[in-house]
Amino acid sequence: MPLTTGSFIIGSHANFFRDGDSFTVPSSGTASRSAKPGSADTGWIDVGIVQDVGITHDMDEREVYAPTPGKLRLHDVIATKDRLSLKLTLNEMSPLAFELLFGTLALTSASTQYNPLEGLTKKGWLKVQQYNQSDAAFNVLDVYCHLKVDGEVRFDDNIVNVSLMARVLHSTLNTGTI
């Protein structure tokens, strides 16, 4: 799908694959920074209804000044650190959202009990698939990340919104398709 210029309304879907979980596609392995499960593997977890996705690319920079001839003027900018973060707003309390919110061990739709703060930091593979208003694929992003709930989750007379923050961690297997 070639990148085209235009106005778009984007619908997003997201799935997560926990670090340390076994996969069978493309072959047997264990998910890690250096081992990514195939998109057809059954171990991918649907994160729930995605209302929106925000993406932030940030970096630390160092400014280099040079005399021209006597006054120092900005000569160059050198990036020293790169960060890519995704913020997903969910309109659904999925088992994964519940797991992240309460810091539990792995939960599934069959779970009936949990222990708060028993789980570890959640790292793994995040797959975000985006489609335009014509249901045509717009962007697919596979990134290894640290995933957590971002901010307060309110349980009141409105639809529960859960904000997830995915901080992309370096992996040579991180990919995007447009």
pLDDT, tens digit, 9 for 90 and up, residues 145-156: 999 999 999 999
Considering the chain, what percentage of its residues have pLDDT values greater than 70? 98
CATH of 11-177, picked from 1.20.1250, 4.10.410, 1.20.1740, 1.10.405, is 4.10.410
Mean pLDDT of the chain: 95
When pLDDT is cut at 50, 70 and 90, the band that residue 165 belongs to is very high
Which value, in Å, is the radius of gyration of the alpha carbons in the chain? Answer: 20
Query: How, if at all, do strands 122-131 and 11-18 pair?
Result: antiparallel
Are 76 and 61 a contacting pair, CB within 8 Å? no
Distance, CA of 149 to CA of 16 (rounded, Å): 14
Query: pTM of the prediction?
Result: 0.92
Q: What pLDDT score does 149 carry?
A: 97
How do residues 92-106 score in pLDDT, each as one tens digit? Answer: 999 999 999 999 999
Q: Is the pLDDT of residue 33 over 70?
A: yes
d(CA 9, CA 29): 37
The pLDDT assigned to 2 comes to 67
Neighbour-count burial of 148, counting CB atoms closer than 10 A to its CB (0-12 exposed, 13-18 middle, 19+ buried)? middle
